[in-house]
Amino acid sequence: MRFDTGEVLTAMVTPMLNNGDVDYDKVEQLANYLTENGSDSIVVTGTTGESPTLTHEEEIKILHAAKKGVKNNSKIIMGTGSNCTKTAVEMSKLAEQEGADAVLCVVPYYNKPSQKGMIEHFSAIAEAVNLPIIMYNIPSRTGVNMAADTVKYLAEKYNNIAALKQSYGDMDTITELNINTPDDFTILSGDDSLTLPMMSLGVHGVISVASHIFGKEIKMMIKEFKSGNIIKARNLHNKLYPVFRKLFMAPNPTPVKAALAEIGLINDFVRQPLVRLTEEEKSELINTIKSCRANLMALL
């Protein structure tokens, strides 16, 4: 199934009030802001959206608020993954019922399934819904790596398994995926700093955190690369790289929430066990962003 994700998909944070409640008005406003600033699709209720601390009721309300915010100008992808296959199936069915354009499903975490277990997990989801499914491979969080052969098997067997978010910087695996998966299967970088290197091997775009702040610039980097302007794309990558790294100076999404709060878009509250940046950390982050913006202005 060809699912047009676009090239810049933002893994959106979940705005919250200081009492910890989800700020649904800000969810709507932020989704609209991202759509107007480079995002082709919005991913809600993923890790960057603090999904481990959200209730299922909150997740559905976030989906509705984001859909209202984008006004059909970008796609809304809902994170429905779980380390419980039954829960992942139920949430994916609910996402389809409530109007999501696609679902993002992570490899089961903590229980560390075998490749056969991963196949059975994603097969159950694919057989339960008609929505496009983006599988999500992130060994640093799940404790296991989904092999290229497993991705190939699932992509070939199920028409609605449409894409893979690959947050694992092994370039041989990217090559194997690009060679062996169907032509209509989309591979996306899951790490901002790996987007350009992965694109040289056929990756389509990125599910990004930095696009909250530099969405238009990331979109330009991808456009320049695909237009054959490799040097300019590399220069943009090099200018953006310090921010790509600094946004992970503390557990995601703590830094990006602080950056968004600095420009008045949201409050920087994160649910425990995450904690806000210290003032020193925040100053370091903001200075990096300001320096990056100045360097980009000189380049552009």
Tens digit of pLDDT for each residue in 78-134?
Answer: 999 999 999 999 999 999 999 999 999 999 999 999 999 999 999 999 999 999 999
Does a structural domain hold residue 178?
yes
For residue 143, the domain's CATH number is 3.20.20.70
Does a structural domain hold residue 242?
no
Percent of the chain scoring above 70 in pLDDT: 100
Average confidence score pLDDT of the chain: 97
300: confidence class by pLDDT, cuts 50, 70, 90: confident
Does a structural domain hold residue 89?
yes
Does a structural domain hold residue 258?
no
8 pLDDT more than 80: yes
Domain that residue 120 falls in: 8-227
* Under 8 Å between Cβ of 222 and 197: no
Residue 1 is predicted with a pLDDT of: 64
168 burial via Cβ count (<10 Å: 0-12, 13-18, 19+) = middle
Average pLDDT for 207-214: 98
Strand locations in the chain, DSSP E? 8-11, 41-44, 75-79, 102-106, 133-137, 161-166, 186-189, 205-208
232: confidence class by pLDDT, cuts 50, 70, 90: very high
pLDDT in tens, 239-282: 999 999 999 999 999 999 999 999 999 999 999 999 999 999 99
Average pLDDT for 16-32: 98
Residue 252 is predicted with a pLDDT of: 97
Domain tally for the chain? Answer: 1
* Under 8 Å between Cβ of 29 and 69: yes
Catalytic residues: 136, 165
Does a structural domain hold residue 50?
yes
Residue 298 is predicted with a pLDDT of: 80
Does a structural domain hold residue 220?
yes
Other beta carbons within 10 angstroms of residue 272's beta carbon come to 7
